[in-house]
Structure 1
Amino acid sequence: MSARGTVLALLAAWAAVPALAEGPCGATYRVQAGDTLESVAARHFGAGADWAPLYYANLAALPPTDGAAEIAAGTELYIPCPPGAAPASPKVLEPGEADITLVVADGHGPLADRTWPGGGMGTALLVSALAVAPDPLSHRMRWAEAGAGALDGAGDIRFPVIAPDCSAEGAREICDAWHFSDPVFELPMMLFAATGGALAQVGAEEIDGRRICRPEGAPVDDLDRAGRRWISEGRITLLRAPSAEACLEMVVEGAADAAGLDLYLGAARIAAMGLQGRVAPLEPPLSRETLRAAVPRGNWRGTTLIWRLNAGLERLRASGQRDDIVAQHMRRLAERLR
């Protein structure tokens, strides 16, 4: 689907937020004769169509299947929790019990956010890739504070990261310090402007003199790179705000002409803030950035970790599981938008 088609599909869709779990979550369920993923999901999540998170939480216990296929009686399934539900008996690995620590920067919903199912689509893809990787390692999840960069703090694998252009001036230090994974997901970067405002009338390419807000800590490479020196040549005024919400508020108040956000983050925040019809993305996208995971080069097994992760990502793609995960999360995002 084109970027324009994606935008229109996301903004046009609307449904109620999925119901919270009706049965205990964060616990183990023993499959009974005749059970399917859909029936178990209906019992615990309130909707049989929400079986995908259940499947990806139990990859090691299940063969490739669909939601309607019967599961072998006696199989033990871990029941993940939807947002807002308290686990009955959470399984938390302590630092000494896990092989590696996965650090995820919070607040990037729907891609990486502890309040989204599976920790967000990007997190679900990464965790699923680790689960099917050769010689998989156990891991504990550590959420970095919302707004923090994924390259901040200790951990074996950091996510999400937009890898810099290693040929660009100033990027060598970062590239020398980190291994970057194969692509996990592609992000269309958009300008979100007031509907009916001046910038909405002329489009994203009429940029001279505009005030563009970007959340603190978010990279600005797409605003100042070869062929687009908007910042260094003084073509725009770069504004910083504490969060994506703050940038969107500045747009509504007229303090900024646009907020520079990725398509999915911007769409989710617009829905959460009730700004549908007041703020919208402009075509064409500023750029398409590739979301990756990163491993410190100083990690004694960094090369092996990246190899395993990349192999897991390839297995997800080859099996079709990646498309299933993306479709499930896109459906959930569309339900929150209008």
Structure 2
Amino acid sequence: MRVPSLFILSCLSVTLAVFPMAASALCNVTYTAQDGDNLSGVAELHYADSARWSWLAAANPDLSASPDSALAQGSQVFIPCTPPDPSGQTAASPDMPKVNVLSIVDFAPFSSRTWPAQGIMAELITAALGAGPAPLRPVTAWAENAADGVSQLADSRGAEIGFPLPRPDCSADEARDACARLLYSDPVIEIPLVLFVRSGGGVTYQDDSDLAGRHLCRPAAYSMASLDTPDRHWISEKVVNLVTPDRPETCFQMLAGGQVDAVMLNALTGATTIAAMNLSEQVTALDKPLAQHTLHVAVPKVHWRATTLIYRINAGLRALRETGEYDRVVGRHMTLLWDRLN
């Protein structure tokens, strides 16, 4: 297998050094069952111990009590951090008050139906909402992309909070509607936006002039804010030829086929997609990032407790950082990503 680029390795190495790897489980989260799942397999995924299927059976009495019986696809499985006590209660009861969450589908490792704990941000936000004196349990619905998520949130169509979303530049005309209708949390995660290119293809990037006239691919629903800034006018002045298919996978297919020169994605989503598509031999990331992106939680301003929800999320994230739990959560997910890249 080809070794990932020095930039991706350095991102992961620094992250793993800053966020210590812990053997603790991905827990106190709700997992969405996939086709073919059973309690034994879900326990192995979250605890690395299939024998703990009994914990899941006790915490989810409405599901199959057998370790090997298939779970209905889409079933919600609460993953407790501790076994039930004799009274049948777990450390974080699935009966606690709920909050309706809209998450972006297939944005691994930040949010994904198939990533453990439904992604880094899902686990962090679940923990943040559970950190206060009146914990809330997220119940997740899925949006196909960030643009659809912003639209659903802004229209307040059932969802109370949404993530992971970039915070737009509210001075830009195209962002004013979202800024007028949504409140954004403090940054949850910061990650570099990088260029993925064909290995040995000759594309380099030291400054923006290196990309003039190049065909660059970025999924249509992803933020384009970094491409037009006071110092960069790639779209408005047509400096680059921008290709915008629906999905990251399409961008990488076009890159492998020579239809575009580079794919623009955040480092972790790009690395995850490359690994899933078995393109590690063909694609690498350039070392110099284009920009730094932050991901946030958003709440519709018309929600009756919008400011309270944002306050609770921000306060919960601060508490996670102070206790070291933020580091442990991110460290676990970085370990999973590292394993998939190798």
Coarse TM-score class (shorter-chain normalised): 0.7 to 0.9
Shift of 1:150: 2.5
The aligned residue for residue 150 of structure 1 is 149
- Work out the CA distance in 2 between the residues paired with 1:252 and 1:73: 53
Which residue number in structure 2 is paired with residue 329 of structure 1?
Answer: 333
**Cα-to-partner distance string for 1:172-224 (whole Å, 9 max, x where unaligned):** 22211110001110121111111111214x55641100111111211111111
Is 1:27 matched with 2:56? yes
The gaps in structure 1 that reach 5 residues or longer are 13-17, 31-43, 45-55, 62-70, 81-90
Return structure 1 stretches of 4+ with deviation > 6 angstroms: 75-80
Alpha-carbon distance in 1 for matches of 2:148, 2:269 = 16
For the structure 1 residues 100 and 141, does the alpha-carbon distance in structure 2 shift closer, same or farther, using more than 3 Å as the test? Answer: same
Aligned to 2:262: 258
Matched, 1:116 2:145: no
Please provide the CA RMSD for this pair. 3.2
The unaligned stretches of length 5 or more in structure 2 are: 14-41, 60-66, 68-77
- 1:27–1:57 distance in 2 versus 1, CA, 3 Å: closer
Matching residue of 1:310: 314
How far does residue 168 in structure 1 lie from its aligned partner after superposition? 3.3
Q: Is the 8 A contact 2:55 2:80 kept in 1?
A: no
State the TM-score, normalizing by the size of structure 1.
Answer: 0.74
- Determine the C-alpha separation between the residues in 1 that align with 2:136 and 2:122: 16
TM-score (norm: length of structure 2): 0.74
Kindly indicate whether the alpha-carbon contact (under 8 Å) linking 2:167 and 2:296 is maintained by their aligned counterparts in 1.
yes
Q: CA separation of 1:279/1:303 partners in 2, compared to 1, >3 Å: closer, same or farther?
A: same
Matched ranges for 1:1-338 at <5 A = 7-9=8-10, 20=45, 22-23=50-51, 24=53, 27-28=56-57, 57-58=79-80, 98-145=97-144, 149-153=148-152, 154=157, 155-200=159-204, 202-203=205-206, 205=208, 206-338=210-342
The 3 A distance-change label for structure 1 pair 251 and 175 is: same
**What per-residue deviation string (whole Å, max 9, x for no partner) do you get for residues 134-177 of structure 1?**
43233311122367632132200011110012233443222111
Provide the C-alpha distance between the structure 1 equivalents of 2:227 and 2:94, rounded to a whole number of angstroms: 40
1:121–1:329 contact (8 Å) kept in structure 2? yes
Identity of matched residues, %: 34
**Which string of whole-angstrom CA distances, capped at 9 and with x for unpartnered residues, describes residues 71-124 of structure 1?**
9975968699xxxxxxxxxx988xxx9542011011101110010000011111
Distance change (3 Å), C-alpha of 1:177 and 1:192: same
Q: Kindly tell me the number of residue pairs found equivalent between the two proteins.
A: 283
